[in-house]
Amino acid sequence: MFLISMKPDSLPIPTDQGPNWKGIGYLVSIVSVFFLGAIAWPKPEDPEWHLPVLIAGMAASILGMGFRYLAHRKQQAEIKKTKAEARSS
């Protein structure tokens, strides 16, 4: 009854405009990893294992942020695809 009066295109669909705040946040986090790594860089008197562990920790953190951002982009693409399918049906 109510669906007859509704046109399929009557609902506004938001578009992706403006900055990608999630991506910017991940970039800021990556930069902060380098700043924190610079402060934690081992001194000559520190044990030799500190440097590879620090580098591995920094790399793991950056890699994790990259994976989370890729998951976010995949989710956004799925949402966009679902909206397009809903509009076409």
**What per-residue confidence (pLDDT) applies to 43?**
96
Nearest of 81, 34, 87, 84 to residue 58 by alpha carbon: 34
How many Å apart are CA 74 and CA 67, to the nearest integer? Answer: 10
The pTM assigned to this predicted structure is 0.71
Residues in the chain predicted with pLDDT less than 70, given as ranges, are 1-16
- Quote the tokens at residue 39: 């402060």
Contacts of 33 (CB under 8 A, 6+ apart): 58, 61, 62
